Amino acid sequence: MQHRMRATVRNAVVRTRRVLRSGAVRFGGLPHSEGTVDSPPPEVAHDITGLWLRNMRSRASVVDVAGTVDVSMTTHGRRVADVWLAIESIARGTARPRRLILWLDGPQRRLPWRLRRLQRRGLEILRAESGLGVHTKYWPYVTTQPLDVPLVLADDDIVYPPTWLELLHTRDADTGHRYLVAYRAHEIAMISPAAFAPYMQWPPCSSSAPSYRHFPTAVSGLLLPPALLRFVYEAGTAFLSTSPTNDDLWLHACAVRAGIPVVQVTEHQQHWYFIPLSQTQGLNAVNVFGGANDRQMAAAHDELTRGRIWRSIEEAPEEDARS
């Protein structure tokens, strides 16, 4: 009898939670999805609900004036409505940035109220010139801001864990501020000193050693040291012709050319959960399955950078031993 009563109570609680969640999704702007590639597991859905409530209630600053890194991201289109979730997940972190900047392009419209609340808590929302595409997250920064601290690049469709910024900063400090730091990288494969293997054949990075052969992806977060920021500025807007749809590729090419290897935070890739319903459109199909990555990789590199990557591949066992 007691077992049946407990089961009845549990079922009632589950039904109540479903009704409340449905109302929050429909009328309160709570991001949620089921049965899609970006559907979160229960623990992440619970975290998202907590961030949703935090965004409505919190008055805590999203930045730390004593911070030693800046964070930059960009968004566009329908993602403007949900980018607050990525920003709020960064703001609740164990370390907060000195500045947290969201770049917008396109027509100027009234901001969603959740972004306006974040503005009052220290988020900077700045307008960028149009036509930069994915490069908007860093190019307006390097051309208008002092390049005196590392810049961390964040994507607008990720729920970042609380230690995200702290571990990036710690890895940067531990390695002497000399590398491009990534949570997620691939190991570049080459078929000769002059030619790269297709992008889809590159294996996941399984080393925390610095290397030119490591190809970083910004989806989980990148930290660019000031020396690289200054080099990117000097390189100008060549990315518009060589790698218009892939900022990761251009930043990696700049790093190799500048003599700045890539280091992964841990030996294995880390990838965080997507914001629900954020993956209905994106560049992945064009860049990866459409072959755009391969074409842009060939265009962005020259004899110097291909040679450095090739030698790094040949020296891979020695590099891994030093990690």
User: Which pLDDT band holds residue 36 (cuts at 50, 70, 90)?
Assistant: confident
- What's the rounded Cα separation, in Å, for the pair 232 and 138? 9
Phi, psi (deg, nearest 5) at residue 13: -65, -45
pLDDT confidence of residue 166: 98
pLDDT confidence of residue 70: 98
Q: What is the pLDDT of residues 178-225, one digit of tens each?
A: 999 999 999 999 999 999 999 999 999 999 999 999 999 999 999 999
Please report, for residues 16, 52, 66, 97, 121, the alpha-carbon distance to residue 151 in angstroms, rounded to integers and kept in the order given. 44, 27, 15, 9, 20
- The CA R_g of the chain, rounded to the nearest whole Å, is 21
Q: Which amino acid is at 134?
A: V
Q: What is the pLDDT of residues 51-69, one digit of tens each?
A: 999 999 999 999 999 999 9
pTM over 0.75: yes
Q: Is the pLDDT of residue 153 over 50?
A: yes
Comparing 278 with 110, the larger pLDDT belongs to 110
* Mean predicted lDDT score pLDDT of the chain: 88
DSSP state of 58: -
DSSP state of 289: I
| Pick from 102-116, 135-149, 287-301: least confident | 287-301
Alpha-helical (H) ranges within the chain are 2-27, 42-57, 83-91, 113-120, 139-144, 164-174, 226-235, 239-242, 247-257, 284, 292-300, 303-314, 316-321
Q: Is the pLDDT of residue 9 over 70?
A: no
pLDDT (average), residues 111-130: 96
What's the burial of 57, exposed, middle or buried (CB within 10 Å: 0-12/13-18/19+)?
A: exposed
Pair 231, 257: CB distance under 8 Å? yes
